[in-house]
Amino acid sequence: MELRIGLIGLGTVGTGFVKLLLEKHGHIKGRYGLDLRLVGIADLVKGSAYDERGLDLARLLELSEREDSVLAYPGAVEFQQLGSLDLVREDGVDVVVEATPTNLRTGEPGYTHIREALENGKHVVTTNKGPIALRYKELRELAARKGVFLRFEGTVMSGTPCISMGFECLRGAEITRIRGIVNGTTNFILTEMSKGMPYEQALRKAQELGYAEPDPTADVEGWDAVAKVMILANVFLGSQLTVSDVEREGITGLTLEDIRAAEREDAKVKLVADIRREGGHVKASVKPRRVPLSDPLAHVDGVLNALIFSTDTVGDILIMGAGAGPRATGQAILSDLLWIHAYLSGDPKKAPRALFP
């Protein structure tokens, strides 16, 4: 089988995906019987390119990185001539990879890209948290009506497959609560603080290492974690929360004394995301909490993320792994594309490589 990909956004995530695709294309063809062909790119800043025979990934990456542009690519054009909405309507595109940045207020531009792609009968893989946090149900229904897939593994814990584990691997179980650490930047800062480094210094270290943005607000005030909590609530607890439904407190008020006070009680301070059913409602929060050392979350250090799914049939299941990074997020996109391939394949006689380990 062949899947022809249109990619929107050639920032850190999009570039990470193209790199991984270049590295893995042959392996994927051999192992799974799938030809993943990138036919189009649309990036507001770097420009757009389209070639139905497939773009030359090495050349594209070279231009994108060296000149911060793809306009020197043969046949490339300005974004105004081939915009994201043109790309999602191209007949030659089977699946749209949406990798623009998250906006938790409007969900744009991701929401419009995804809606239009689905409307045009394209499968969608996205790493953009906004549309899934704000409008998952609507997009899910649209995808079902159009007979296409909508996947978003990369929105939570990057390539650590918490979304597909929670849905595909736990079918039949009821998930009653999800609790965990879903922001690597704050967990890195808290880990440094537990080694004795004050908050401001730990934040600077995180910025130097590229874990925190120059403006760290989205991470340290908990907004990134709130977006992930909304996604988990939508997907696994069937509740559409708004941003203000999620109780939120960041880590900027924490001092070394808070960390030490916790340690005196055999606990660590962690920024904990918590989503649970209470009465008929879903309660959700992102808050610094004292986590006793007997709790597995106390041992999730540095930029790692972890989630604990509480179920009615198999108790608590913990998944821990990378929570960010271009290569890990590229893996999330790749696995989503291979999911679509597996579901489309269906018959184990025709596609054994897609359907058997």
Enumerate binding residues for a second copy (CB under 8 A).
Answer: 20, 24, 27-28, 32, 140, 143-150, 158-161, 163-174, 235-236, 296, 299, 306, 311, 313-322, 327-328, 330-331, 334-335, 337-339, 342-350, 352, 355-357
Q: What's the CA gap between 156 and 233, in Å, rounded?
A: 12
Residue closer to a second copy by CB (options 75, 167) is 167
Residue closer to a second copy by CB (options 71, 317) is 317
- Residues in contact with 59: Cβ distance below 8 Å, sequence separation at least 6, in sequence order: 73
CA dihedral 223, 226, 228, 232 (to 10 degrees): -170
Least CB distance to a second copy at residue 344 (A): 7
Residue closer to a second copy by CB (options 103, 335) is 335
Query: Where would I find the H helices in the chain?
Result: 12-32, 57-66, 84-87, 110-119, 129-146, 162-164, 184-194, 199-208, 217-220, 223-236, 256-264, 326-345, 352-355
Among 76, 81, 124, 121, residue whose Cα is nearest residue 100: 124
Least CB distance to a second copy at residue 79 (A): 29
CA angle 167, 156, 251 (to 5 degrees): 135
Residue closer to a second copy by CB (options 244, 356) is 356
Residue closer to a second copy by CB (options 84, 126) is 126
User: Pairing relation of β-strands 247-248 and 2-8?
Assistant: unpaired
Residue closer to a second copy by CB (options 83, 296) is 296
Residue closer to a second copy by CB (options 88, 148) is 148
Contact yes or no for 274/285 (Cβ under 8 A): yes
Contact yes or no for 233/241 (Cβ under 8 A): yes
Least CB distance to a second copy at residue 84 (A): 23
Q: What's the CA gap between 288 and 19, in Å, rounded?
A: 36
Examine the residue annotation and report whether 268 is marked as an active-site residue of this protein: no
Q: What's the CA gap between 163 and 277, in Å, rounded?
A: 19
238-267: b or e for each residue (b if 16 or more CB lie within 10 Å)? ebebeeebbebebbbebeeebbeebeeeeb
Least CB distance to a second copy at residue 332 (A): 8
User: Out of 46, 129, 228, 268, which one is annotated catalytic?
Assistant: 228
Token pair recorded at residue 335: 């696995």
- The upper half-sphere exposure of residue 91, i.e. CA atoms within 13 Å in the direction of its Cβ, equals 0
Least CB distance to a second copy at residue 109 (A): 23
Q: What's the CA gap between 342 and 178, in Å, rounded?
A: 27
Q: What's the CA gap between 241 and 233, in Å, rounded?
A: 7
Q: What's the CA gap between 296 and 349, in Å, rounded?
A: 42
Least CB distance to a second copy at residue 155 (A): 12
Least CB distance to a second copy at residue 321 (A): 4
Where in the sequence numbering do the catalytic residues fall? 228
